[in-house]
A and B are shown apart, each in its own frame.
Chain A
Amino acid sequence: MVSVLMLLSPSVNRPALYRNVLSNGLTVVVIENPVADIVSARLLIKAGTGREARSQAGLFSLLSSLLTKGTRHLSSMAIAEQVESVGASVGTDASADYSLVSLKTVTADFSNILALAAEMVRYPSIPVAEFDLEQRLTRQSISSMKEQPFTLAFNALRAAMYGEHPYGLPGIGTEESVAKLTREDLLTAHQTFYRPDNSVMVISGRVQPEAVVAEVERFLGDWAAPDTSLPPQQYPTVPTTPTYETIVQPTNQAILMIGYPAPAVQEPAYAALKLLSTYLGNGLSSRLFVELREKRGLAYDVSAFYPTRLSASQFVAHMGTAPENQAIALQSLRDETERLGQEQLAKDELEATKNKLLGQYALGKQTNAQLGQLLGWYEVLGLGVEFDQIFQDTIPPSSIFAIPLL
């Protein structure tokens, strides 16, 4: 087959970027970055927590952790030996909207490790003993999370905000759901969702684009998509009624969290909300930090976040405070967050926030792995690699004269 590579960014300073779709539907993105003698590759499968039935929460997390524990030809230890004998790394992960297999090697070893990763993704054997062990370890992890106040609070917040939506349960699952998962559930999920036309492969590093696409073609080109189509994705609506919940735990610090339903990544307000979370909660100069910690001494720590999601997201402001300050702290956290709806942000503050967001965005894609992850994720979200530039253009950098010097 003839591969046509399209150069997307004929750039001077930026690494060259190519995107291609193989005949089996697999999207391949190549980032040519000769800075170091290494290659990072990531295969993102468009299925994560968002595809789980509530009774099967933790399904994709458990499946991804078992990919490295055996294939039709290789045992768990044989996989570890292959990877470690060349000093490479291979990892797996699952998150809200995708599952991930990632690898990193020096350039010379890339082809061999790519072959291994392809074997893991296509032919996991999920040995019974490994399944039992991983299931047990996962249940132990879930149980130990009950000792972590932040996780406890966030899980409750998420459950309240999402109702029946699959984002409402933790990615690792619950004790009940993980206990009920079977090896067959994992194999079914693998068969249904791990398919080339539902996946994106991103390779970043010291590679020659045509050669590396040929390598992907060699190991994943005959990975056939099943005849059946993917199950339709339907998200339940999320609750809109405000709720309030208190959990009592014997700790020295009260954790407060406020969550607001927030738009998915495709919606127009996405960039503005990223700016808001930067303004409110990012770093020592952010409003929540300055007002609640520096000026009023109410917070041990305080922050805000707004995750990028395919379906309904949430805007969360949170703080740790002394238990006796709980009521006043909660009111102040709400006031500072919601004041943005009444009072316009000063121009210089907005400018400074834009610069901060763009600066941090650039710092967040320095390594091959970070860059590949970001572009692959945009592909998974249906935005395409172009979104990297589109997002930055939405937030035009301001004149440097607008940045307060201190």
Chain B
Amino acid sequence: MSALLAEGRSARLVRELREERQWVLDIGSSFSLQRDCSLFTLQAWLDPAAVDAVEALICDRLATLAVQAIPPAELVRAQRLLINDFAFSTETPGQLAGLYGYYSVVASAADSYTYPARIQAHTPTSIANLVKTYLSTNAYASTVLLPAA
């Protein structure tokens, strides 16, 4: 979902908010996998005057994701991005040690092998269900940092 929404210029929110509407200077998303409650975040750099409009638009687009299945091509794009990212991050001994060490802490080292298959297994329906379960627009924390007046 994070890749789908904000990874790369052709991702949903980047395309709409930065490239087309030009409401934000930049927008990104991240997902920090943790042993207990993980964290899904979206962050944007923008003109203070645009904050409310951007937040409302993001909520609206998330709500749409929960009810409208994404086109298969868009899902494939996100899947390839993530699976290739995984390949790109297994080049050096340091990267591999980090990967296996991290998975050992949050789950088990062997779970890192199944990551590409688990990404591949998602369907437009499973994504919509995940959005319904986890990305509720009624239950998020938002932090806004404004320049001193």
Contact = CB atoms under 8 A, between A and B. Distances in A.
Chain B associates with chain A: yes
Interface of A: 35-38, 76-77, 80-81, 83-89, 104-106, 137, 140, 366-368
Given A36-B91, A38-B91, A367-B91, A88 B10 contact: no
B82 interface: yes
Contacts of A87: 77, 80-85
A98 B60 CA distance: 45
Given A106-B84, A140-B25, 5 more contacts: A38-B91, A77-B10, A80-B8, A87-B82, A367-B92
B87 A38 contact: yes
11 contacts: A38-B87, A38-B91, A84-B9, A85-B80, A87-B77, A87-B82, A88-B84, A106-B84, A366-B91, A367-B92, A368-B91
B84 A84 contact: no
Contacts of A104: 88
A228 to B, nearest CB: 36
Contacts of B91: 35-36, 38, 366-368
A83 B84 CA distance: 12
B135 to A, nearest CB: 22
Most buried by A among B9, B25, B93: B9
B149 to A, nearest CB: 17
B88 A77 contact: no
A36 B90 contact: yes
B69 interface: no
Contacts of A77: 9-10, 15, 19
Contacts of B93: 366
Given A84-B9, A84-B11, A366 B94 contact: yes
Contacts of B92: 366-367
Contact of B87 (A37, A80, A81, A366): A37
A84 B87 contact: no
A392 B132 CA distance: 57
A36 B80 contact: no
Interface in B48-101: 73, 76-77, 80-85, 87-88, 90-94
Interface in B83-133: 83-85, 87-88, 90-94
Contacts of A35: 91
The 5 A-B pairs with the shortest beta carbon distances in the complex, nearest first, are A87-B84, A87-B80, A80-B9, A87-B81, A84-B8
B10 A105 contact: no
Interface residues of B, number: 24
Contacts of B94: 366
Contacts of B82: 87
A40 B143 CA distance: 39
A11 B19 CA distance: 48
A28 B82 CA distance: 30
Interface of B: 7-11, 15, 19, 25, 73, 76-77, 80-85, 87-88, 90-94
A305 to B, nearest CB: 23
B10 A80 contact: yes
Contact of A84 (B10, B25, B88, B90): B10
Nearest to A35: B91
Nearest to A367: B91
Contacts of B77: 84-85, 87
A80 B135 CA distance: 27
A14 to B, nearest CB: 15
Nearest to B84: A87
Given A87-B80, A87-B83, A81 B88 contact: no
Nearest to A137: B25
Contacts of B83: 87
Contacts of B81: 84, 87
A80 B20 CA distance: 14
Contacts of A367: 91-92
Contacts of A81: 10
Contacts of A80: 8-10
B9 to A, nearest CB: 4
Contacts of B90: 36
A106 B88 CA distance: 8
A69 to B, nearest CB: 10
A83 B77 CA distance: 10
Contacts of B73: 85
Contacts of A37: 87
Nearest to A366: B92
Most buried by A among B73, B77, B93: B77
A309 to B, nearest CB: 28
A104 B89 CA distance: 12
A166 to B, nearest CB: 30
B30 to A, nearest CB: 17
A382 B76 CA distance: 43
A81 B76 CA distance: 12
B90 to A, nearest CB: 6
Contacts of A86: 80, 84
